[in-house]
Amino acid sequence: MQNQGANYDGTGAGAGLITKSTPVPAGQFGPLKGGYTSPGFERKSATEAQLTADYGKMAEPLRKALAQQLKSAGFKVPVTGKYSIKVRDAFLSASQALSDELTTLATQDPARLQTTKYDLTSFLKSLATTEQVGTGGADKTPTTVQAITEYRPETLRDLINKVSFELTGESASEQFIAKQIKSIEKQLKKPENIQQTTYTPKVGGIQKQITQEGFSPERYLIEEISKGDAAKASSVMSFYEMFDKAIGRDNG
C-alpha cells in the first residue's frame, strides 16, 4: 500500500528541497511499492545547486515571469529577464519556504496534500493573494521586518584583505581597498539590498518566516576579486557559507 508522500520519481525530501507535491488518487499502481495505492501524494525534490542551475538556464521571458511572481509575493526584486543575483536568491528563499510548508502539511495536514497540488507558482500566488486581501489584522496581513547592517571602515578593510589573500595569496592595494569600501557602502544603502524577513499570516496556528538575504560584502568581494576564476570563487564562497551556518548567521 502507498504511504503518504511516496516519491515515484526516485527523489524525496532527503534529496534537497521539496519543490512539488501532487495528489495520487486511490487505485494507481505504485512502482516503488509494487502494489496499488491508497490516496496519497508524490513529491519531487531538488538541491539548491540544481535550482541555481535551473535559474541560470531559464529563457529570459521565464526569468522575468518568475521575478514578477516573486515581487507580487512580497520579495524585493527587480522585474527583469536578465540574470539577477537578487532574483536568484529570492527564488531559492521562496523554494525553501515552499519546502518547509510542504513538510509541515505532510506531518500535520496530509489530507490536504492528497487533494491539492503544490508547486512554487501556486505557493507564490497564495502569498500574493494573502497580501492583497489583507485588511490590517495581525492574522491577515504579512509583516515584513528589515535588518540593516552597518560596517566600520576598518572591518571592511580587514575583510577585503582577507578575501584578497584567500583568492590571490596577496593583500589588497590601498587603492583597491578604498575603491571597494566606497562601493560596498553604496551597495549597502540601496533599499533592494536590505535584508528583509516576512512573517506570513497564521494558517492553522502556524506562521511561516521567509527571509530574503540582503547584500553580502563577502560574496561581492569574492565575485569582484575572482573574476575569471570561477572554480576558486566557488571554493571560497562555500567556505563563507559554511562559516555563516556554523555561527548561526545564515538566514536562508
Q: How many domains does the structure of the chain reveal?
A: 2
Among residues 80, 106, 133, which one ends one of the domains?
133
| 11 and 120 housed in the same domain | yes
| 30-34, 75-79, 226-230, range with the lowest pLDDT | 30-34
| 21 and 81 housed in the same domain | yes
Q: Give me the pLDDT at residue 109, please.
A: 84
Render pLDDT for 48-68 as a digit per residue (tens, 0 to 9).
999 999 999 999 999 999 999
| 10 and 105 housed in the same domain | yes
Q: How far apart are CA 142 and CA 127, in angstroms?
A: 9
Q: How far apart are CA 201 and CA 225, in angstroms?
A: 42
Among residues 87, 115, 133, which one ends one of the domains?
133
| 149 and 118 housed in the same domain | no
DSSP codes joined into one string, 156-192: HHHHHHHHHHHHHSSPPPHHHHHHHHHHHHHHHHSGG
The answer to whether residue 91 scores a pLDDT higher than 90 is: yes
| 125 and 1 housed in the same domain | yes
Mapped to the 3 state alphabet, what secondary structure does 124-152 carry? HHHHHHHHHHCCCCCCCCCEEEEECCCCC
The answer to whether residue 14 scores a pLDDT higher than 60 is: no
| 94-98, 116-120, 148-152, range with the lowest pLDDT | 148-152
Sole residue written with cell 504579512: 142
Q: How far apart are CA 227 and CA 177, in angstroms?
A: 16
| 68 and 162 housed in the same domain | no
| 122 and 156 housed in the same domain | no
Mean pLDDT of all residues in the chain? 75
**Inter-residue contact 202 to 164 (CB < 8 Å):** no
Q: Give me the pLDDT at residue 56, please.
A: 92
| 164 and 229 housed in the same domain | yes
Domain span holding position 20? 1-133
| 122 and 177 housed in the same domain | no
Helix, strand or coil for residue 216? coil
The answer to whether residue 3 scores a pLDDT higher than 90 is: no
Q: Give me the pLDDT at residue 7, please.
A: 36
The answer to whether residue 248 scores a pLDDT higher than 50 is: no
Render pLDDT for 181-212 as a digit per residue (tens, 0 to 9).
999 988 888 887 888 777 776 665 666 777 77
Among residues 77, 104, 133, which one ends one of the domains?
133
**Inter-residue contact 218 to 163 (CB < 8 Å):** yes
| 126 and 147 housed in the same domain | no
| 126 and 213 housed in the same domain | no
Render pLDDT for 123-153 as a digit per residue (tens, 0 to 9).
888 887 654 444 344 445 567 777 777 788 8
Q: What is the pTM of this model?
A: 0.50
| 75 and 191 housed in the same domain | no
**Inter-residue contact 105 to 112 (CB < 8 Å):** yes
